[in-house]
């Protein structure tokens, strides 16, 4: 005790030093634990970032946020779909509403009769007993129930296409082909149908048709223009043009030429020499006034047309 009294300050200083050393050790241990945890967290963040950057597509970085860019582009796409809806107006089925065998049969007969009357009023020739591809259904009173809805849609679409030809004043409407929509079509004429099938994707159903008619180039241009500007989504996939003689038979135009005849130039601004054009009248020698250079031929035209029918829209994902 005497030594402690003589060295009291030393003892107190030692005790304080030991306390400070213990506190420092505890601080170092706690700091080490925190650092280890922080290091583990940082390692996890780095691994997550590396994993995200390795994804395809990558979410981007602080300067290029690909996730936000994707959301912005999705919004732009949906805005465009909403604004372009006026160009994808559906064609009304015939009849509208609930379709039964009785009301479809009546609507079919009425529509076919109206289309024949409109063709006569427009001066458009039709084949004898032309049923607009509905020969199999023409005399039926009962139908396969599952096929009534598709048949009503096709009847409305055939009527819309026919009226575009009438508005263009084509010379003759030779035929229209559609896909088989019902078991009732099995008994129809093969010339009424095409072997294609409708295509369905995430946005729409694409229904194909093949149309044949005879016209001159101004009427063909009018048909294509009306299809392009219609509120219904018509897509012309292919146009085949041949020359129709007076009997309605088709001959080649702008394709394979008869033997010995020079080819006809088809590029813009390219015109063959007058002597190489079929149907051309030779200039009259020794006569004044304008000379007949080209006599336009009646054309036999086949159009492959698709109708785009949008599916019901789905709400955007959050």
| CA neighbor of 171 nearest in space, from 206, 127, 130 | 127
Strands (E), 172-275: 172-177, 199-200, 204-215, 233-244, 250-251
What's residue 290's pLDDT? 64
Residues 227 and 305 sit within 8 Å (Cβ to Cβ)? yes
Per-residue exposure over 19-36, b if at least 16 CB sit within 10 Å of its own CB, e if not: eeeeeeeeeeeeeeeeee
pLDDT in the model for residue 179: 93
pLDDT at 239: 94
Residue 1's pLDDT is what?
62
Contact 181/147 with Cβ under 8 angstroms?
yes
The residues, ordered by sequence, that sit 6+ positions from 205 with a Cβ below 8 Å of its Cβ are: 198, 199, 308, 309, 311
Q: How many CB atoms lie within 10 A of CB 157?
A: 24
- Is there a contact between 157 and 207 (Cβ–Cβ < 8 Å)? yes
pLDDT tens for the 318 residues of the chain, in order: 666 666 666 667 777 767 767 776 766 776 777 777 777 777 777 777 677 666 666 656 666 677 777 788 888 877 776 666 667 788 899 988 898 988 999 999 999 999 999 999 999 999 998 999 999 988 888 888 988 999 999 999 999 999 999 999 999 999 999 999 888 888 888 999 998 888 888 778 899 999 999 999 999 999 999 998 888 889 999 999 998 875 444 443 333 333 333 333 333 333 344 344 344 445 455 455 666 556 778 999 999 999 988 887 644 444
**Token pair for 2:** 């005497």
Residue whose token pair is 């729409």: 204
Domains of the chain plus CATH, in order, are 88-254+296-310 (3.30.70.60)
Is this model's pTM higher than 0.75 or not? no
Return the pLDDT at 276. 41
The pLDDT, as a whole number, for residue 250 is 44
**How much is the pLDDT for 269?**
37
């Amino acid at each position: 005790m005497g030594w402690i009294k003589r060295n009291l300050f030393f003892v107190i200083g030692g005790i304080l030093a030991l306390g400070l050393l213990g506190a420092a050790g505890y601080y170092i241990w706690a700091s080490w634990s925190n650092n280890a945890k922080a290091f583990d967290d940082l390692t996890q963040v780095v691994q997550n970032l590396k994993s995200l950057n390795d994804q395809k597509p990558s979410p981007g970085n602080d300067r290029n946020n690909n996730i936000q860019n994707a959301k912005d582009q999705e919004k732009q796409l949906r805005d465009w779909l909403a604004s372009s809806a006026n160009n994808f107006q559906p064609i009304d089925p015939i009849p509208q509403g609930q379709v039964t065998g009785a009301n479809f049969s009546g609507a079919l007969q009425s529509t076919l009769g109206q289309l024949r009357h409109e063709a006569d009023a427009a001066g458009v020739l039709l084949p004898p007993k032309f049923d607009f591809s509905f020969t199999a259904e023409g005399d039926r009173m009962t139908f396969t129930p599952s096929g009534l809805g598709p048949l009503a849609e096709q009847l409305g679409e055939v009527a819309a296409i026919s009226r575009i030809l009438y508005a263009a004043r084509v010379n003759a409407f030779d035929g229209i082909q559609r896909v088989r929509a019902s078991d009732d079509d099995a008994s129809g004429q093969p010339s009424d149908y095409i072997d294609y099938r409708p295509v369905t994707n995430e946005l729409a159903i694409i229904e194909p048709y093949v149309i044949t008619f005879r016209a001159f180039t101004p009427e063909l241009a009018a048909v294509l223009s009306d299809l392009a500007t219609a509120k219904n989504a018509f897509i012309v996939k292919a146009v085949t043009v041949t020359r129709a003689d007076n009997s309605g038979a088709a001959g080649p135009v702008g394709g394979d030429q008869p033997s010995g005849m020079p080819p006809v130039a088809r590029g813009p601004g390219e015109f063959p020499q007058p002597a190489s054009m079929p149907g051309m009248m030779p200039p009259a020698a020794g006569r004044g006034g304008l000379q007949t250079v080209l006599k336009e031929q009646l054309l036999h035209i086949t159009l492959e047309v698709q109708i785009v029918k949008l599916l019901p829209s789905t709400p955007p994902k959050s």
